[in-house]
A and B are shown apart, each in its own frame.
Chain A
Amino acid sequence: MLQMKGIRKAFGPVQVLHGVNLEVQAGEVHALLGENGAGKSTMMKILCGIIGADDGVIEIDGKARHFAHYDEAIAAGVGIVFQEFSLIPYLTAVENIFLAREKKTRFGLLDRKAMRARAKEVLDKLGVEVSLDKPVAELSVAEQQFVEIAKALSLDARILVLDEPTATLTPSEVEYLFKVMRELRSQGVAIVFISHHLEEIFEICDRITVLRDGEYVGTRRVGDIDTNELVEMMVGRRIESNFPPKPEARPQARVVIDAQTIQLHKAGPFSSFQLRQGEILGFAGLVGSGRTETALSIMGAYPAVRVNVEINGDATTPRNPSEALARGIGLLPESRKEQGLITSFSIMQNVSVNNYGKYRKMGAFLDLAAERKHTVKAINDVRVKAPGPDAPCDTLSGGNQQKVVIARWLNHHTPILIFDEPTRGIDVGAKAEIYQLMRELTEEGYSIIMISSELPEITGLADRVCVFRSGAVVATLEGAAINSEEIMKHATTGKLNYVA
């Protein structure tokens, strides 16, 4: 039904797709698999006409097609549900489904009855019940996703792309989504399914196409391949080799953060945990389980209900990130672009932005020479690959941007570092470098809290692991207990503590 052949694409000097193939049949769920940065999203954007390919052919039902705009792809029967939803939060499901192609009455007014009926019809076909009258912001994440799918189907999409649809869903919602996907499959829809969860792929998909670093690796039937082979196809080698060896457990190490009670939400569960000097403490759990919020509440960047934390024996909790900085806590935030980098600044200015206290002369004035000297050292220490310290940050790769933010804290010598999803959107090689760097830092005496959604990262790197569920730590694992099964068990069924 859908054929993409020899797709090539470069962004400036960077070749992101080197002749990638994808072939999807009607009534098939086809997984598109690959590490972050492998080129999956770029492929899908090309399919939908959001960006153009440099070379290659797209055929639908045997006819070569070329989409210059998203609209043209929609008209040809391609629908996509993006990772970040494109719903307008204050509009209802019906209004969202018919956005920009509202049905009108003879008088040019909105035909609300007809739109409602059609929306209901589509949602019924999906077999889901979603309130049609509430603003979608009030719907659950899963329901919003169904609205997105309904929107695509109401456009008579025969090829449906789901870009990491399960990332933010609970297990029961995932089951529900799979039921809907099976229903669509039986109706002859071709589904391209992007997910990082291999179990899901084995459960729902018929065939798998694997990409690695923009190269087409191969296509396999689900029955003909096992997890190990699949992982090897994805990363090109065994994933364990990415992680530096863990040191001996050091239970006697000094406690640098003693979080006695943290309660994120009113009437929510309580957490407690400790961070010891020189360790990497993993924060594991499903998306939305409160990992980031808990970490941010330690540094006064999240308004938790109750935070009793001793930092280096001092029981006053920082009220904002600037107080946290003074107490030696630095944050590598989840989103580099939105929370980490100041993109209009050069690399050097990004590193020095919170550290001008060090580069003063005559009281108030900046000592530009000292700034340059220290900053360049910090940039070199974390091995940022860049034309120079004055280069703008937006020209750097994701991994190097991440290193710039890390350099910011090393330059400041904050002994406690919170790394929130440190390797999101970073290619395999850079990941290994970041892991190596984190291990080196702990050996120098830094203490790191690492929040991560990637289980291999948690099991491969963390010395101890706090598992989160529904807003609180439900278990702290050490040594041999740090494995995927144990973590997932606690993340989905761990017992919550409602007593301080």
Chain B
Amino acid sequence: MSHDATTQSSSSALQAVTARLKHSPLLLPLAGLIVVSIAMAFASDNFFSLDNIVNVLRQQSIIGILAIGMTFVILTGGIDLSVGAVMALCGTLGTGVMVNMGMPGGIGLLAMIVVGILFGLFNGLLVAWGKMPAIIVTLATMLIARGLGLVYSGGYPISGLPGWVSWFGIGRVAGVPVPIIIMVVLYAMAWVLLQRTAFGRHVYAIGGNETATTLSGVNTKRIKLIVFMISGFTSAMAAIVFTGRLMSGQPGAGVAFELDAIAMVVLGGTAIAGGRGLILGTLIGAVLLGIINNGLNLVGINPYLQDVIKGLIILLAIYIGREWR
């Protein structure tokens, strides 16, 4: 009897897990991750080595961080095309504060964060209060951010940073690269924000039905503003890692990073129209995209052809996701 009861409860627990997974937006990204990993493992002996996996994560960390802010914005039904350019602007101005103005390094890093958040504020004000579509606003501010960085530096990289800054780009803690740690910590923070705070619920509500959310008394403008500020903040965090890795302020960095970030969000199962998706999905999307890049390299495919394959894989993923709903 008791034996029966336990098997029943364990099988119903299993059923509950499968039922939850079946309706989870994570199902497809996870399935994709598994399929691609197996394919890559067959294609290359090196793929499943610890070194290679750490390598994939490290490579994905910068855009993976940008994709966090992107997830917030896309969940509200918006988009932020300026993330790559803002990252470059943060890195350039922050480096300038340290090198050209001779301020202590801490102030320089703080400056990066302030610049990122302020730029997000700028985007958010234009979208929420200016009532303009995010895609156009951030297309324009992408140009502005890129241009400002180039104007400030005269188009040249700024080098001469204190050596410890490289810790953010190439340092390790207990053998784990610092960029990976930063990325994972930021994802954890984003998860808490989205799943465990009222703000997070409001983000999903706006993406689900903005009019209904406004009429129910939620201050939707404020939420949209904060969402863009978060995106600005993650751009700044990406800038810190990027600067640490290259040990210089690069005004031309991050071109087309926004596109990879969007691809990660979409591969992670977040609806481009907003309202549905999980931050964990974006992390899976980041890893998935990394494995595809890495695998194509390991197999030795022509880099030009790699872009074609990547594009096709993204299309396929979205198509399957669409059929699934």
Does B205 contact A322, Cβ atoms closer than 8 Å? no
Does A331 contact B204, Cβ atoms closer than 8 Å? no
Does A321 contact B216, Cβ atoms closer than 8 Å? yes
Who on chain B is nearest to A326 by CB? B217
What separation, in Å, do the CA atoms of A354 and B202 have in the docked complex? 8
Given contacts A320-B219, A321-B216, contact A357 B211 (CB under 8 A): no
> CB of A365 within 8 A of chain B?
yes
Which of B44-52, B90-98, B193-201, B242-250 is found at the contact surface with chain A? B193-201
What separation, in Å, do the CA atoms of A412 and B219 have in the docked complex? 16
Contact of B202 among A338, A344, A353, A408 (CB under 8 A): A353
What separation, in Å, do the CA atoms of A342 and B75 have in the docked complex? 13
Does A339 contact B198, Cβ atoms closer than 8 Å? no
Given contacts A321-B214, A366-B196, A366-B197, contact A342 B205 (CB under 8 A): yes
> CB of B310 within 8 A of chain A?
no
Does A357 contact B198, Cβ atoms closer than 8 Å? yes
What separation, in Å, do the CA atoms of A48 and B208 have in the docked complex? 32
> CB of A285 within 8 A of chain B?
no
Does B212 contact A366, Cβ atoms closer than 8 Å? no
Does A366 contact B215, Cβ atoms closer than 8 Å? no
What separation, in Å, do the CA atoms of A339 and B214 have in the docked complex? 9
Who on chain A is nearest to B219 by CB? A322
Q: Residues of A contacting B306 with CB < 8 Å?
A: none
Does B219 contact A339, Cβ atoms closer than 8 Å? no
> CB of B30 within 8 A of chain A?
no
What separation, in Å, do the CA atoms of A136 and B204 have in the docked complex? 36
What separation, in Å, do the CA atoms of A345 and B275 have in the docked complex? 9
> CB of A301 within 8 A of chain B?
yes
Q: Residues of A contacting B196 with CB < 8 Å?
A: 365-366
Nearest chain B CB to A76 CB, angstrom units: 33
Does A325 contact B217, Cβ atoms closer than 8 Å? yes
Does B215 contact A301, Cβ atoms closer than 8 Å? yes
Nearest chain B CB to A326 CB, angstrom units: 8
Who on chain A is nearest to B23 by CB? A392
Most A CB atoms within 10 A — which of B197, B205, B212, B276? B212
Q: Residues of A contacting B276 with CB < 8 Å?
A: 344
Nearest chain B CB to A56 CB, angstrom units: 31
Q: How would residues 64 to 107 of chain A score, 1 for a CB under 8 Å from any chain B CB and 0 otherwise?
A: 00000000000000000000000000000000000000000000
Number of interface residues of A (CB under 8 A): 31
Does A366 contact B275, Cβ atoms closer than 8 Å? no
Number of interface residues of B (CB under 8 A): 22
Q: How would residues 213 to 225 of chain B score, 1 for a CB under 8 Å from any chain A CB and 0 otherwise?
A: 1111111000000
> CB of A349 within 8 A of chain B?
yes
Those of A275-305 within 8 Å (CB) of chain B: 301
Nearest chain B CB to A8 CB, angstrom units: 29
Contact of A354 among B204, B209, B217, B275 (CB under 8 A): B217
Nearest chain B CB to A367 CB, angstrom units: 10
Does B204 contact A345, Cβ atoms closer than 8 Å? yes
Q: Residues of A contacting B201 with CB < 8 Å?
A: 349, 352-353, 356, 366
Does B218 contact A353, Cβ atoms closer than 8 Å? yes
> CB of A341 within 8 A of chain B?
yes
Does B217 contact A330, Cβ atoms closer than 8 Å? yes
Nearest chain A CB to B131 CB, angstrom units: 13
Q: Residues of B contacting A330 with CB < 8 Å?
A: 217
Q: How would residues 328 to 356 of chain A score, 1 for a CB under 8 Å from any chain B CB and 0 otherwise?
A: 00110100001111111100010011101
Those of B68-83 within 8 Å (CB) of chain A: none
Residues of B within 8 A of A (CB): 192, 196-198, 201-202, 204-205, 207-209, 211-219, 275-276
Q: Which 6 A-B pairs have the closest CB atoms?
A: A325-B217, A356-B198, A342-B208, A344-B208, A322-B219, A354-B216
Please name 4 further chain A to chain B contacts, defined as beta carbons within 8 Å, in addition to the given A325-B217, A345-B205, A353-B218, sorted by A numbering.
Answer: A339-B209, A339-B212, A353-B201, A354-B216
